[in-house]
Structure 1
């Protein structure tokens, strides 16, 4: 039989939103339990805002060095060490994560549960069959994860989601990036400026968060000057070929193109 727990507030997820909910409810004198199955450290610190900005900082440095001759500053041949770039990203990322985990560790053990939570009714959770939690209020702060068509699974380990980028040991030679939203544009531009050949493909014509047509068109022009950008790509096929992926699509001018994604 699972043990039972009665609380005012149960929080599912100890990411940025979950920790904020914990602090707010605790300050108001509520009895709170926070539930997480791991890994700990928040999306922001582990695979989101913080490591992405580290990658962007490296890309900005490379871009500035490449622009220096325009100002009469000769820097010699630009060399980008992909392994060194990713080593710094991961080292700093791990430091950020450790600070977040320290914050989570400061929560009293009686107010934390490890495991997957599922609802058994509107006010009751069962955590990994070991604890039943009854709460007046339940906060769902589980975050989200990337989704993709099931047939893409055939690409094996050549298929990665944005979270996986920050576990790379080296930069790839080329990458096809699906989704020109905010995250896609950040990663695409950073990888391009770090010497990676980038094809960015989307559907439906939307670019980033822009809603004003003139602003979106101008942004499209600027990004297209750096890397291949097709916001409404017509992809005919994607095939795994050895350790590469072959992608055939029709560009905006109606020309069929085949690109290789090489890690």
Structure 2
């Protein structure tokens, strides 16, 4: 995991800053996609129970214990006992004794089970089944609820974050709490690639638009997990390490922020 820059967790471990996301990659295609990503140079692979591809991801990672692996506990598995059982099922599908990181996938405030689920993850870490623990899509209030109830701060919060939805208040809270921000849908589900500002900067730098957006994430100190299925796109995303954006270019992308730019579900309503 020394091939790419890494970000330090509050538990002392370090996560590669750029990873390979597997959302919407079918189980029967996941192994090949993961092997391609590893061949390109990725050292972090992100999956989840709900993606239905943990078996394929595990196959693609067979014999590669040096690769960072993240999975997530789905909403229907919230609660202390259910989360424990769900973790065992994830490991079975992945063909692993442990993962580097497990996340609560959504806070599901209507269920009221986030604290109990977090307590399960704390004990999962103690058992060695996950080396680090975190959350995904948690709002500021959700973070404080679980921290105040357990005294344990998540290592990471994986949230929707792209140039047109930058989540600055939540990122500032992460900074205050010592939580790494990880961006899902970092390219805005591809919409950012067609943005005129991004296209202009891509032309200025001689880089592809996806790499420009990912470079913006990296220079802001964010961890990110773009999904791609073809070798061409997997490699194009990895080019984010090959150049730097100037301060003026960063500022132009910063200016694209839109409070109404959310693409995915609203965590306050999704369960």
TM-score class, shorter: under 0.3
Greater strand share, 1 or 2? 1
Larger Rg computed on CA atoms? 1
What TM-score comes out, normalization by structure 2 length? Answer: 0.24
